[in-house]
Amino acid sequence: MTIQTWFPISIFLVENLISIDENNKLIKEIHTIKKNIKKGGKDWKTDVYNTHGTYKLIKNIKFNNLFKEIEKQTLNFSKILGSDETYNISSGWFNYYNKGDYQEFHIHPSSYFSAIYFFKNPKNSGRLVFKNPLNKMLPLKNLKHNEFSYETCFYNPPERSLIIFQSDLWHMVEKCKNITPRITAAFNLT
């Protein structure tokens, strides 16, 4: 008997993407931006502070090295998936989660890859959750999930980590119970 796995869903994780010093400098820049830029995410159901639609993060040259690293790692991931094309960051924003903040399930239309960089991810921050994109009409009876039947997967990576995934993969952030803010940046690549 053989079980063959088809249609895999791949998620790419890189830890220690940039130095601690550079990460801290970018966090200071985020705090400066947060003081001067109104909250974005106009149609979001959550109240998390973000700069989606209110600030073009990709125009801020202080983040250029981070952008370069994200594009380099996206190329590495795309090659593993079988594509040797270059994918460039087309949009980006940061999210600043305080206690009680979350992000509902969503996708990122009109891009090939999306990436999340974790500037700060303190204890009790909400986990990043991905949902199996296959629609099950009837779940199996008395199912005990295993590597062949998971419906969701969870990530709670250390600070300075990058997660890259294909943009049509549904994902969300659980409600944060942290006191120290969880700070991430999200990017779309085309």
Predicted pLDDT of residue 139: 82
Query: What tens digit of pLDDT does each residue of 72-106 get?
Result: 999 999 999 999 999 999 999 999 999 999 999 99
Contacts for 95 with CB less than 8 Å, ≥ 6 apart: 48, 49, 50, 103, 173, 182, 183, 184, 185, 186
Query: Which band of pLDDT confidence, cut at 50, 70 and 90, is reported for residue 43?
Result: confident
Predicted pLDDT of residue 134: 85
Helix (H), strand (E) at residue 65? helix 64-81
Q: Is the sign of the CA dihedral 143, 144, 150, 153 positive or negative?
A: positive
The rounded distance, in Å, linking the Cα atoms of 152 and 150 is: 6
- Taking residues 19-35, report their average pLDDT: 98
Is 135 a residue whose pLDDT tops 90? no
- Taking residues 47-73, report their average pLDDT: 97
Residues in a beta bridge with 163: 13, 116
